[in-house]
Amino acid sequence: MKIAVIGDGGWGTATAMLLSSYGHDVCVWGPFADYVDEIRSTRTNPRYLKGVEIELANLGYISLPFLGQRCRRTIILCAV
């Protein structure tokens, strides 16, 4: 299932990781492009989930400009 999680904090990231581990195609939206890029490049969420590595197999992070373009999903969860 294609799922969007709105919010890249601890709750949003943990929820997205759980859904991704069950094989869902998950897209996480974050409001700040520089922080989204940091999460993507380091595969961690240092502000909210220190020490937890993020597996990016079925999990993608995007920022505001791309929300409508690349995040077409069946289910949208709000974790803010």
Q: Residue 60 sits in a domain of what CATH number? A: 3.40.50.720
Both tokens of residue 47? 């502000």
Give residue 66's pLDDT: 55
pTM for this predicted structure:
0.83
CA–CA dist 70, 50 (Å, integer) = 28
Does residue 21 contact residue 57 with C-beta atoms inside 8 Å? no
3-21 residue pLDDT tens: 989 999 999 999 999 999 9
| Domain carrying residue 15 | 2-78
63 — phi, psi (to 5°)?
A: -115, 180
Q: Which of 62, 55, 44 is nearest to 19 (CA)?
A: 55
- How many domains are there within the chain? 1
